[in-house]
Amino acid sequence: MDRIIRGITKDKSIRFFAIDATKSVQEAVTIHHLSMTNSVIMGRMISATLMMAADLKSDKNVITLKIDCDGPVGTAIVTARKNGNVKGYLKYPEVEIPLNEHTKTFDIQRAIGDGTLTIIKDLGMKNPYIGQIELKYSTIAKDLTYYFAQSEQIPSSVGLGVLVMPDGTVKKVGGFIIQVLPQTSEEVISQIEENLAKFPNLTDMMDLEHSIEDIISKFILKGLEPEIKETSSVKYKCDCSKEKFEDGIRLLSKKELQEAIDTNETLTIHCHFCNTDYNFDKNKIEKILKEM
């Protein structure tokens, strides 16, 4: 089951989030026909956004991660709610680039290139919170670690992993966020650093059937008595509907609607998040115009 766990160590010095998002990312890959490189990028962003959304106060609150870059990816956006629903898209979903010739792994840094990472938190207030940093690493995990330190002044460690098979299917996707709370002792910080230094590859451990609960308790926070306070399910789900897009059609002027009727035009609105087209034919447009 795709899920997020969140908790805190017994001494209240470290809080943590961890996620298994395998099925949710596979759903995104299927919907958007993602290349293998983009599957890794989308998987990392989905995992990170969902973990950050788990820290929101209300299911009505929304958090969005957006990457604008000069690499082949172009733009990548992921939006999530506290209830575990997530959606996203990439501007060029099917673009593929060669593996890194030295490491023989997906060349995420080359795919992203230079650009910015923007975090938007809609907390139901008049204006959303917007934080933005220049991409220093273009790996997403290290950039988020830098973001937490610079924009939120929270010392953190972010780990994100996506294991993609040669046929393009997603086998394992996971992540963790470890955050140091005020007055944490140097001894505890040193223990975390030692644990992280010894920790193998995240998705390799998941592929060996280590659960995210085990990864936190037996490896990342070993010796620090982590306590899981909440476990919640997550899934890829777009909240669009024809009714919502009809509200957008109603924002058109009567003149524009009449022109569509006169030319027998079908108005089509495309949802980028679920790759669905919503069509409004002449009869539907006439009905909308009469109700205006």
What backbone torsions phi and psi does residue 174 show, to the nearest 5 degrees?
-155, 175
Distance CA 10, CA 26 (A): 35
pTM of the model: 0.93
How far, in Å, are 28, 97, 100, 165, 262 from residue 105 at the CA level? Answer: 21, 11, 5, 12, 55
The CA radius of gyration of the chain, in Å to the nearest whole number, is 21
Band (pLDDT 50/70/90 cuts) for residue 235 is very high
The token pair at 178 is 């470890």
Contact assessment for residue 226 and residue 213, using Cβ atoms and an 8 Å cutoff: no
Q: Is the predicted pLDDT of residue 101 greater than 90, yes or no?
A: no
Q: Is the predicted pLDDT of residue 292 greater than 90, yes or no?
A: no
For the chain, percent helix, then strand, then coil, each to nearest 5? 35, 30, 35
Of 113, 104, 69, which is closest to residue 90 (Cα–Cα)?
A: 69
Fold category of 242-291 in CATH: CBS domain Like (3.90.1280)
User: Using one digit for the tens of pLDDT, what is the confidence trace for 238-291?
Assistant: 999 999 998 888 888 988 899 989 999 899 999 999 999 999 998 999 898 888
Which tops the pLDDT comparison, 1 or 46?
A: 46
- The amino acid sitting at 90 is L
Sequence spans of domains, the chain: 3-236, 242-291
Q: Report the pLDDT averaged over residues 65-94.
A: 96
CATH superfamily of 3-236: Hsp33 domain (3.55.30.10)
